[in-house]
Amino acid sequence: MKLLIVENEPILLSALQKGFVKNNNDVSIAIDGNTALEMIHNYKYDVVILDIIPQETNGFEICRKLRASKIFVPILVLTSLISSENVITALNAGADDYIAKPFNFDELDARVNALNRRSTHENNIITINDLEINGNTKTVIRARRLITLTPKEFRLLYFLARNKETIVTRWQLLDNVWDNDSYMNINIVEVYISFLRKKIDVPFKNNLIHTIKGLGYTIKSF
């Protein structure tokens, strides 16, 4: 996992960093809220471990700002502020879990792993209007109707959906869906897009898959 620890106590910060690195995690650190916000906006983390730092931008404010910016990285709040009021404030601000100091590192590690598993599972389910693509079960539902796709059709749809509202070229699709197969003709992409449209769009009122002439394809909300 790629973790960010936001903590202003040097001894605790060092201990946390060593513990998570020992468990084969990639760990970044920040000692204040403003630095943490900048790092989270610039880099992708699997979980953020966040102390309610009473300096500059505190933990509650970090949670609020991230959620307002549509950044939904899992956040575990780690703090000595253990009153029910502070717990409620943290959760309402957007934190996903809360553990009080002093704590057991193994419990903290287990909670961080649980947050990462939950986030990974949720991120594998993509919803675009009435279309739901489940990357865990490899199932596709549109307007409550189960749609049967071949493995290649599913990979193509899933890649388009992961890049929704973005134009994807035929070469990008060939590289990512057909695994850089140099023997595969680029026209196969157009053939499979046609297959997908017949299953995903034709039976329904609104189209989701669009051709951008001269550029490629995109899947977007209607």
114 & 175 share domain:
no
pLDDT-based confidence at 89, cuts 50/70/90?
A: confident
Pair (118, 131) in one structural domain: no
Residue 68 phi, psi dihedral angles, 5° rounding:
-65, -30
Residue 47 gets the label, from left (phi > 0), alpha (psi -120 to 50) or beta, of beta
Q: How many domains does the chain have?
A: 2
Mean of the pLDDT values across residues 205-218?
A: 96
CATH of the domain at 58: 3.40.50.2300
146-182 pLDDT per residue, tens: 999 999 999 999 999 988 888 999 999 998 888 755 5
Q: Report phi then psi at 149, rounded to 5.
A: -120, 150
Q: Please, what is the Cα angle at 88 between 84 and 91, to 5 degrees?
A: 140
Q: What is the pLDDT of residue 143?
A: 94
Among the candidates 123, 147, 180, a domain finishes at 123
Domain that holds residue 74: 2-123
CA 98 to chain centre: 20
pLDDT, residue 142, reads 97
Q: What is the mean pLDDT of the chain?
A: 89
pLDDT-derived band at 79, boundaries 50, 70, 90: confident
Q: Provide the pLDDT for residue 70.
A: 79
Contacts of 214 (CB under 8 A, 6+ apart): none
Q: Is 191 found in the same domain as 180?
A: yes
What DSSP letter does each residue of the chain carry, written as one string? -EEEEE-S-HHHHHHHHHHHHHTT-EEEEESSHHHHHHHHHHS--SEEEE----SSS-HHHHHHHHHHTT----EEEEES--SHHHHHHHHHHT-SEEEESS--HHHHHHHHHHHHHHHHHHHTEEEETTEEEETTTTEEEETTEEE---HHHHHHHHHHHHTTTS-B-HHHHHHHHTTT-TTS-THHHHHHHHHHHHHHTTTSSS--EEEETTTEEEE---
Residue 3 has pLDDT above 70, yes or no: yes
What confidence category does residue 11 fall into, taking pLDDT thresholds of 50, 70 and 90? very high
Chosen domain end from 123, 152, 176:
123
**Residue 212 is part of a domain; what is its CATH number?**
1.10.10.10
Q: Do residues 105 and 207 both lie within one domain?
A: no
Chain centre distance of CA 45: 9
Chosen domain end from 106, 123, 140? 123
Give residue for tokens 């499979």.
192
Shared domain check, 156 and 112: no
